[in-house]
A and B are shown apart, each in its own frame.
Chain A
């Protein structure tokens, strides 16, 4: 048995979050009726011409700066020629010989060890449409709404050594591009799509083995499981004396196998050549500087700021900055509650459990950051108890339309802070438990908790526990 080393490179396509397409003024919004967002340029009518979207270029440059890459001052759009019904022009406009972004790195961290992955290049291109093979009998339906959506294809060096690293690379890339605001990061809608090149070699060998390409592994989980499966398959092939064939394969998550993709055997010849409709993309220093100065805060910077500005622990800050929507949520909630630690606890604790239960992202949370901020503020000011806050959140989760004050009143959550009432309740409890009162007075401090609990019970949770405890302490001292 040899000791095998896996060599993995990822090609990730991210959809850039522009309003309009890369070469036309049609909308990129997801979910429209079929072909409602395919304008005459997208359907490639005779005579139409592409005009490039400035924002797509700006986003590509932003990405390049973020990964410390070189930005080519002159890059070239070329045509990649092949026939497919969802490719209306019979070619895809892409960048080939001279891409806009070259070089750069992205660090992965698996089990605490940092591994730097080199980025070969990132280039701009247009997306194709969608083919529906099962909708119509004997026919394939073509929807060109996605055709022309701007993509940034990010190609890594073959630096990745494990499926875990690959999945972490993908997660970190996802976090980076959403932080940069250049991609909405919506995996279900295909905003981030991944192909993996996988090969094996005996550890210590320099030369690369034959690689296969795993296509369309579009979730973090499938990146990891798909690559593990392919690695296992290749090792089996190699150890049984076979050879790995260079081919394109698909990961089938249900059977947990990879299989060759049919119809991809024909050696393709894409006949790339510079698109004569699009002169060279030339970027000035001023343009690149303008992107640099208008740069969003990146995850690590934000974490450090949270630690210093809000006095949060590293663990809390790291958890809050794991994704841009969570960090944004946190900062929005702080507009209503001047208690960073408290808001952090509510997000990482109570709110997280609701989100996890339903498997949704914070951006889809039914309780918005304003509401959460107000809940925390009401607890902090003593209007409601912590327990009341939890009740409030649970009601709001079911009925997000309700106002917080209404719920506090209708559910009778307002905390009793009238010391007279509390004194009366304490009198009742003390009267009922004379022996315990004596032990308390003799110095058994543990019993304070017992009495507070008794009073709280009598008040049906409405008494302010802190106030109850203070009054009891005062009584036993006197």
Chain B
């Protein structure tokens, strides 16, 4: 199974990665190779097997509804690329 240029473009858009021409070419090749390797899974019969998203069978633990986090905006924003008046700034979002 091979990956098309169009597939790669769609995936790069979803993943917010740049896709210059030379990059597209190598992505196509590498993804095709990796997918060929992954393809082996299809030969395994899993018809009566449930998926296993967690390595152990554990349940969600719930915490009580308490305020535990101090206000630390200035500390958190001191490492931000761009802030003003307490807001994080990004290039203007159009609608």
Bound Cα distance from A83 to B14, whole angstroms: 8
Chain A residues positioned under 8 Å from B67 (CB to CB): 19-20, 25-27
Residue pair A141, B87 in contact (C-beta under 8 Å) = yes
B: interface residue count bin: 35 or more
Residue pair A279, B58 in contact (C-beta under 8 Å) = yes
Q: Is B92 interfacial (CB-CB < 8 Å)?
A: yes
Residue pair B73, A38 in contact (C-beta under 8 Å) = yes
Bound Cα distance from A131 to B62, whole angstroms: 30
Bound Cα distance from A209 to B14, whole angstroms: 30
Residue pair A53, B87 in contact (C-beta under 8 Å) = no
Which A-chain residue is minimally distant from B58 (CB atoms)? Answer: A279
Q: CB-CB contacts of B47-82 with A at 8 A, as 1s and 0s? A: 000000110001111111111111111001100001
Residue pair B90, A139 in contact (C-beta under 8 Å) = yes
Bound Cα distance from A43 to B29, whole angstroms: 36
Residue pair B63, A271 in contact (C-beta under 8 Å) = no
Minimum CB–CB distance from B14 to chain A (whole Å) comes to 6
Most interface-central of A135, A139, A269 (chain B CB within 10 A): A139
Given the known interface contacts A54-B64, A279-B60, the answer about A25 and B87 at a Cβ–Cβ threshold of 8 Å is no
Which listed residue (A24, A143, A280, A282) contacts B87, Cβ 8 A? A143
Given the known interface contacts A20-B68, A131-B93, A263-B95, the answer about A35 and B88 at a Cβ–Cβ threshold of 8 Å is yes
Bound Cα distance from A256 to B58, whole angstroms: 52
Residue pair B14, A271 in contact (C-beta under 8 Å) = yes
Contacts A35-B73, A52-B60 known; 6 new A-B pairs at CB < 8 A: A20-B66, A20-B67, A26-B69, A38-B76, A140-B90, A140-B93
24 A-B interface contacts by CB (under 8 A): A20-B65, A34-B87, A35-B77, A35-B86, A35-B87, A36-B71, A36-B73, A38-B73, A43-B76, A57-B62, A77-B60, A81-B14, A85-B90, A85-B93, A133-B92, A136-B87, A139-B82, A140-B91, A140-B93, A142-B87, A143-B87, A263-B95, A274-B53, A282-B60
